[in-house]
């Protein structure tokens, strides 16, 4: 796979497609996953420069994926942006404690997310 890979995991197909479009538009190669197990497999296979993870997904949630990535020395430095509709301060604390690099609430500012993705792709 050519280009810098960004793994995107969300169980909402429209949001998954929208995030993939943003990644492509910024020059990245999106790899989409409909759930946490598929996201973790994609991260292990593709060694992305960034992961965008929804929290609430079937099977394995985004925080469990984050913990699994942080526990793997080969993957531990991967930047992980958690994107969720959960908006309480406790949820953000849990995400950061799990190892998330950033926590974004839905609905998110598209321009800000695009700039964030572009920054990781340029790094």
Residue 16's contacts (CB-CB under 8 Å, 6 or more residues apart) are 8, 9, 10, 32, 34
What span, in angstroms and rounded, lies between the C-alpha atoms of 28 and 68?
24
Q: What are the structure tokens assigned to 94, written together?
A: 């849990």
Q: Which pLDDT score is estimated for 106?
A: 86
The total of structural domains in the chain comes to 1
Is the pTM of the predicted complex or chain greater than 0.75?
yes
Q: Which CATH number does the domain housing residue 9 bear?
A: 3.40.50.2300
Which residues span the domain enclosing 81? 5-122
Extract the residue ranges of the chain whose pLDDT is less than 70: 1-2, 87
Omega of the bond leading into 54 within 30 degrees of 0 (cis):
no
Residue 17's contacts (CB-CB under 8 Å, 6 or more residues apart) are 32
């Amino acid at each position: 796979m050519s280009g810098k890979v960004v793994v995107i995991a969300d169980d909402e197909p429209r949001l998954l497609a929208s995030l993939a479009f943003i990644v492509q538009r910024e020059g990245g190669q999106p790899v989409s996953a409909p759930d946490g197990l598929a996201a973790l497999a994609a991260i292990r296979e593709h060694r992305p420069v960034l992961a965008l993870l929804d929290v609430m997904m079937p099977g394995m949630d985004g925080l469990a994926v984050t913990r699994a990535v942080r526990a793997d020395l080969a993957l531990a430095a991967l930047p992980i942006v958690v994107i969720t509709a959960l908006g309480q301060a406790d949820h953000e604390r849990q995400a950061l404690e799990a190892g998330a690099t950033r926590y974004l609430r839905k609905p998110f500012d598209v321009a800000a997310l695009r700039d964030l993705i572009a920054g990781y792709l340029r790094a």
